[in-house]
Amino acid sequence: MGQATNQFEDKVVIVGVGLIGGSIAAAVRQRFPDCAVVGVGRSEDRLRAAMDAGLLTDWATECTAELLRESAIVVVCLPVNLIVEQVRLIAEICSDGVLITDAGSVKAAICDEIQRNEKASRVFIGSHPIAGGEQGGFEHAEANLFEGKVCVVSDVDAANTSEMAKLNRISRFWQLLGCRIIRMSAAEHDRVLALTSHLPHVMAAATTIAVGAENFSLTGSGFRDTTRIAAGSASLWTAILADNRKNVIAAINRAESVLQEFRVALQKKDDLQVESLLEAAARCRSEFDSADPE
């Protein structure tokens, strides 16, 4: 018992117990049963239900100083547009042993803003565990959601020992939930995620709209797979796209120019060029499958 506690944290506070927050809670409960897991949210009913489901050891409707007077990791699992404000509030009242992180899909807008606040910047390291699903709510939480998944942790200056200590503590936290850690600047994270995550979401939405419900009777597994993520929450994704606006626009431009290559090749009946585009995609996608056999 003592061993698990020493290896891990004594307390994890999760602000926002949805799919991600709930899955963090489930992973901690399963792996470190001695660690306190406190859920913070707006709805008492939802928090009670999450506790009944075994995800939490306690809950509260706000982050109080009392809750944060001991050593704890606080993970803010709110929509990206609500993270900064919450981190600032918590930084105002928390004890020295508290380290705050988040699970937001964009990093620069959040980290840059927090950087400007001295208190908050001292106790915060940005995280993005790349895991999720299109169905929100702790009911879909899974204790193994993070198993083998990458968690990007905002990199710090290696010469700054207090920053490095925070980085190591937060890296260890995610690693012990099953993640592989990649250290990366917030700006680089956002540039890459615009391509690997935000663009696929926009492409899935565009495909769904272009196809139209009137044609659904003639869809196959291709349509089902390529558009699955389009069912995700519109408001969550609007905030993500807005917070990563420039990179997302650049990613859309990139996809549009490939689509244009397809269109022009088809118009010119240049089927060799069509095939060479399809081959490039197939080769690239097969590389992905070899690297990620799931």
Kindly state whether residue 229 participates in binding a copy of itself, applying the rule CB under 8 A. Answer: yes
Q: How far is the CB of 225 from a copy of itself (least distance, A)?
A: 5
Contact window for a copy of itself (CB under 8 A) among 1-9, 93-101, 107-115, 262-270 = 262-270
Q: Can you tell me which of 36, 53, 60, 192 binds a copy of itself, judged by CB under 8 A? A: 192
Kindly determine how many residues on this chain lie close enough to bind a copy of itself according to the rule CB under 8 A: 89
Is 158 a binding residue for a copy of itself by CB under 8 A? The answer is: no
Binds a copy of itself (CB under 8 A): choice among 78, 130, 167, 177: 130
Q: Determine if 5 is a binding residue for a copy of itself (CB under 8 A).
A: no
CB nearer to a copy of itself: give 70 or 85.
85
Q: Find the shortest distance in angstroms from Cβ 18 to a copy of itself.
A: 16
- Please pick, from the candidates 133, 144, 163, 172, the single residue that binds a copy of itself as defined by CB under 8 A: 133
Residues 20-49 touching a copy of itself, rule: CB under 8 A, are none
Distance CA 108, CA 287 (A): 29
First to last CA, the chain: 33
List the interface residues with a copy of itself, window 78-107 (CB under 8 A): none
**Residue 183 binds a copy of itself, judged by CB under 8 A:** no
179 binding a copy of itself? (CB under 8 A) = no
Is 137 a binding residue for a copy of itself by CB under 8 A? The answer is: no
- Which residues contact residue 38 at a Cβ distance below 8 angstroms, ignoring those fewer than 6 apart? 11, 12, 13, 14, 56, 57, 58, 59, 60, 67
